[in-house]
C-alpha cells in the first residue's frame, strides 16, 4: 500500500501532537480523581475547571453552562431526551431536520415509540432549512427544535441565527449539533439554548465531548450516579481527554480554516471536471471548510472507496456511524429522492494537515478509478443503449 492519504476527517481526525503532549501529564502524574479531596484530586479538579473555562470561553458561555460528556452522541442524547423528559408536562412535540446525524434520528425514533410526536423538517436541494417553513411546523405543544449546524455528510451550514429567532418567538427551546462545525465556524451561545460539541473532529482525543446548556433551561439528567457535572453526567471525569479537548480548542486557528477552504474549493473544481459528477450540498460560505461530497453517475461510492483504499486513500460514503449499512444515505435522499445519486456519493473531508500534493495524487487515482469502474458498470452500458 502507498503512503496513507487521509481524507476522512469528517469521521475522525488525527490527534494533534501538541494535544498528545498536553495529555501525557494527566495520565502519569496528575492522575487523581477530580472528586477526591486530597491534593491529587485537587490537581485534577483544577485541570478540569481550567479546561471547562477554555471550552466555555470559545462559545461565550459561562463555565457552569458546560457539561462534559463522552462525545457528540451522548451530548445529543442528553439534550434531546433531557428536554423531552423534563418538559413533557408542557408538550410532547419535537421538530428535527431530515438530515440529522443518526444519533439524533435514533434518539427521536426512541422517543416516538414512547409517546412523543416527531416532525421531520425537509430541506432544499442544497440541504438548507427554511426558517419560514420551520415556523409553520411549530405547534402549541412543541417543546424543542433540534437542527444540525454543519451537516456531517454534505457540509451544509444552517443559519442558526434565523432558526433561533423563530424558536425564541414561539418560546420553544433550540438545540444544535455542532460537532462538525465547532472551531470551523462562528459559534456562540446567542444562537441556541443547547449546543453539542466534541473533541475528535478537531484533532482532539476520542471519547470526550461537551454540552452547552443555557442557564435556566429545564432539563433532566439521563444517567444516575455520583452526581458529577452538576448531576447531569455522573461518572468519573476523563481528565486526560478533557485536557486534550481544551488544548485542541486553544490551538485552532483561523489560518487553518483559510487553508482548508482553499483546498476544498480546489478539490471541488477538479472533481467536477470529471463527466457526470455532481456536487452534493452548497458552494461557498454555506459549506463546511473541510467538506467535499460528490456523486458519480453509473457507479457506487462504496466501490470507488474500496478501490481508493487499495491505493492508500481513505474516504467515506457518509457518516462513519452508519457506514456498515447498505441503505442509501438518508441525507442525499433528503435533497432529492434519487437512489442512484445517493449510492454514487462519496465524501472527502480534509484537515489542517492535508496538502495539495496529497489532493493531486488522490485526483489522479479518482479519475483512473472512475474510468475503470464505468467501463464495467452495467448502468453505463444501459445508458449507452438508451442514447
**Catalytic residues, which ones?**
321
Q: State the virtual CA torsion across 202, 204, 205, 209 in degrees, nearest 10.
A: -70
CB of 303 within 8 A of CB of 325?
Answer: no
**Which residue carries 427521536 as its cell?**
108
Q: Which of 106, 170, 107, 108 is nearest to 142 (CA)?
A: 170
For residues 345 and 299, give the distance between their C-alpha atoms in angstroms, rounded to a whole number.
9
For residues 162 and 129, give the distance between their C-alpha atoms in angstroms, rounded to a whole number.
10
Decide: helix, strand or coil at residue 6. strand
Nearest-5° angle of CA 345, CA 153, CA 116?
A: 120
Q: How far apart are the first and last CA of the chain?
A: 39
Concatenate the DSSP letters of all residues of 94-160 into one string: EEEETT--HHHHHHHHHHHHTT-EEEEE---TTS---HHHHHHH--TTEEEEE--SB-TTT-BBP-H
For residues 371 and 387, give the distance between their C-alpha atoms in angstroms, rounded to a whole number.
19
Q: Which of 255, 246, 252, 150 is nearest to 205 (CA)?
A: 246
Decide: helix, strand or coil at residue 292. strand
Q: Which residues pair with 313 in a beta bridge?
A: 5
| SS3 per residue for 68-94 | EECCHHHHHHHHHHHHHHHCCCCCCEE
How far apart, in Å, are the Cα atoms of 243 and each of 43, 73, 247, 254?
Answer: 12, 20, 6, 21
CB of 245 within 8 A of CB of 205?
Answer: yes
Q: Which of 205, 211, 89, 208 is nearest to 146 (CA)?
A: 211
φ and ψ of 42, to 5 deg: -65, -40
Amino acid at each position: 500500500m502507498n503512503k496513507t492519504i487521509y481524507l476522512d476527517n469528517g469521521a475522525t481526525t488525527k490527534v494533534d501532537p501538541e494535544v498528545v503532549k498536553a495529555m501525557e501529564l494527566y495520565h502519569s502524574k496528575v492522575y487523581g480523581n477530580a472528586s477526591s479531596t486530597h491534593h491529587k484530586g485537587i490537581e485534577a479538579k483544577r485541570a478540569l475547571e481550567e479546561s471547562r473555562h477554555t471550552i466555555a470561553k470559545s462559545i461565550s458561555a459561562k463555565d457552569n453552562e458546560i457539561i462534559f460528556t463522552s462525545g457528540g452522541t451522548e451530548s445529543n442524547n442528553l439534550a434531546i431526551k433531557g428536554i423531552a423528559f423534563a418538559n413533557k408536562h408542557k408538550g410532547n412535540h419535537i421538530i428535527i431536520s431530515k438530515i440529522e446525524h443518526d444519533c439524533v434520528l435514533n434518539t427521536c425514533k426512541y422517543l416516538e415509540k414512547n409517546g412523543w410526536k416527531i416532525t421531520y423538517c425537509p430541506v432544499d436541494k442544497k440541504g438548507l432549512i427554511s426558517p419560514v417553513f420551520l415556523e409553520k411546523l411549530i405547534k402549541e405543544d412543541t417543546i424543542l427544535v433540534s437542527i444540525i449546524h454543519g451537516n456531517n455528510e454534505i457540509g451544509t451550514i444552517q443559519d442558526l441565527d434565523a432558526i433561533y429567532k423563530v424558536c425564541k418567538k414561539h418560546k420553544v427551546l433550540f438545540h444544535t449539533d455542532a460537532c462538525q462545525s465547532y472551531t470551523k465556524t462562528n459559534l456562540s451561545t446567542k444562537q441556541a439554548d443547547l449546543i453539542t460539541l466534541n473533541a475528535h473532529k478537531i484533532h482532539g482525543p476520542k471519547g470526550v465531548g461537551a454540552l452547552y446548556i443555557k442557564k435556566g433551561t429545564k432539563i433532566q439528567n439521563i444517567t444516575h450516579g455520583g452526581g458529577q457535572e452538576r448531576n447531569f453526567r455522573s461518572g468519573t471525569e476523563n481528565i486526560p481527554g478533557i485536557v486534550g479537548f481544551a488544548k485542541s480548542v486553544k490551538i485552532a486557528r483561523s489560518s487553518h480554516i483559510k487553508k482548508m477552504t482553499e483546498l476544498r474549493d480546489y478539490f471541488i473544481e477538479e472533481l467536477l471536471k470529471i463527466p457526470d459528477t455532481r456536487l452534493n450540498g452548497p458552494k461557498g460560505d454555506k459549506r463546511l471548510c473541510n467538506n467535499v461530497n460528490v456523486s458519480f453517475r453509473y457507479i457506487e461510492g462504496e466501490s470507488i472507496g474500496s478501490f481508493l483504499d487499495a491505493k492508500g486513500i481513505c474516504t467515506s460514503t457518509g457518516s462513519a456511524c452508519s457506514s456498515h449499512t447498505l441503505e442509501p444515505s438518508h441525507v442525499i435522499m433528503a435533497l432529492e429522492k434519487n437512489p442512484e445519486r445517493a449510492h454514487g456519493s462519496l465524501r472527502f473531508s480534509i484537515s489542517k494537515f492535508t496538502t495539495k500534493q496529497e489532493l493531486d495524487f488522490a485526483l489522479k487515482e479518482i479519475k483512473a478509478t472512475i474510468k475503470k469502474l464505468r467501463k464495467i458498470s452495467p448502468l453505463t452500458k444501459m445508458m449507452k443503449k438508451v442514447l
